[in-house]
Amino acid sequence: MQNDAVPVTVKGVMPTANGCAVFLGNDDKTFVIYVDHAVGNAIQMTLAGVKKERPLTHDLIGHLLLGLGAHLEHVVINDVSGGTFFARILLRMENELGRKIVEVDARPSDSIVLALQHQRPLFVARKVLDTVEDMTEILERVLKQQADEAGKTDEDKPKPPDEDEEKT
């Protein structure tokens, strides 16, 4: 990979009022891409290793690629403009005629799901990483809050008022 792209991972997926916030980043910086609920759920299911009874759209795309002899090399989130991110999927095709690299324009959200499903690297262009706001502290705060809430025992949680107490 060229020096103008940096490897990133999915650091978290959080539901929002209008979809999901996907936190991407490395040790130095974390940024957010907002996606619709369906793709956010697909990312979460892939991260969790959920087995599906029937293939979803991203599963179908992956099966089609493999059936055609194309292998996902990597994904690059290559641009951002007005809060909209852009990505490229790089595919490798090999047959008796030789090797060919095909680059396909795609939504970053779909690209992330495919990269996760195929266990392939995810990169972000340095110019994108330099442009986006660092959300590392926000992610850490949200994860800490979730851990704190998950760690509460039933004794720690507020109890509903006793019926007898309400009557007095």
pLDDT digit string, tens, across residues 81-97: 999 999 999 999 987 88
pLDDT digits (tens, 9 = 90+) for 102-144: 999 999 999 999 999 999 999 999 999 999 999 999 998 888 8
Look at the pTM and tell me if it is higher than 0.75. Answer: yes
What is the rounded end-to-end Cα distance, in angstroms, of the chain? 72
- Nearest 5°: CA angle at 116, between 97 and 29? 115
| Selection from 26-35, 62-71, 96-105 with the highest mean pLDDT | 26-35
Does residue 98 fall inside a structural domain?
yes
Q: Which residue has the higher pLDDT, 53 or 161?
A: 53
Does residue 54 fall inside a structural domain?
yes
**Average pLDDT, rounded, for the chain:** 88
User: What SS3 state is found at 145?
Assistant: helix
How sure is the predictor about 168, in pLDDT bands with cuts at 50, 70 and 90?
very low
Q: Is the pLDDT of residue 1 over 60?
A: no
Residue 161 CB neighbour total at 10 angstroms: 8
- Tokens 């972000």, residue located: 124
Does residue 132 fall inside a structural domain?
yes
What CATH number does residue 58 fall under?
Answer: 3.10.690.10
- Tokens 């999927």, residue located: 89
Q: How far apart are CA 168 and CA 166, in angstroms?
A: 6
Residue 42 CB neighbour total at 10 angstroms: 27
The residue range of the domain holding 16 is 5-149
Does residue 156 fall inside a structural domain?
no
Q: Is the pLDDT of residue 167 over 70?
A: no
Cβ neighbours of residue 17 closer than 8 Å, sequence gap 6 or more: none
User: What SS3 state is found at 89?
Assistant: strand
CB 132 within 8 A of CB 31: yes
Does residue 155 fall inside a structural domain?
no
- Specify the length of the chain in residues: 168
Does residue 167 fall inside a structural domain?
no
132's tokens: 């986006």
Number of domains present in the structure of the chain: 1
Does residue 94 fall inside a structural domain?
yes
